[in-house]
Amino acid sequence: QVRLAESGGGSVQAGGSLRLTCVASGTISRYFCMSWFRQRPGEKREGVASINADGTTTYAHAALDRFTISVDKAEKSLYLQMNGLTPDDTAMYYCAVDPVMGCRGFPHEKGLHPSDFATWGPGTRVTVSS
C-alpha cells in the first residue's frame, strides 16, 4: 500500500515563503495523480493544486500565481512551493495520491476533489501571521 508523509510546514509572516514536501512509499503506476489539499478547523477540505504523471498541473484560484506544484518521480516526492503567503493560507496541508489513475474532474478542477482520493498523509501545519 502507498503511504504518504508531509513535511515543511511552519510559522511565517505574511509575504513569506514555505516549501512543502510529501514523500510516498509503495507502488505507484505509470499513471497517477498527486495533489495538495488544505483544511481549516471546522471547514471542509479543499483542493490547492494537483499534478499528473505527464506533468500537467491544476491550481485552485487561491493558489494560482503564488504556489507551484512539482513532482520528482524517481524520489516519489511531491512538492508545493508557496510564495507570497497571507493569513488566509493558514491551514493544515495534506497530500493525497491516486496511485493508478490520472487526475480526474472538470478541466479546471482536476485532482482537486477530496472524494477522489483514498490515500492521505497525516498533514503539516502552516501558520501565516499578519
What are the backbone dihedrals phi and psi of residue 5, each rounded to the nearest 5 degrees, phi first?
Answer: -145, 120
Which tens digit of pLDDT belongs to each residue from 29-80?
Answer: 999 999 999 999 899 999 999 999 999 999 999 999 999 999 999 999 999 9
DSSP β-ladder status, 10-13 and 124-129: parallel
Which tens digit of pLDDT belongs to each residue from 84-104?
Answer: 999 999 999 999 999 999 999
DSSP β-ladder status, 124-129 and 119-120: unpaired
* Rounded-to-integer distance, Cα 29 and Cα 53, Å: 9
Residue corresponding to grid cell 500565481: 65
* Helix (H/G/I), strand (E/B), else coil: 123: coil
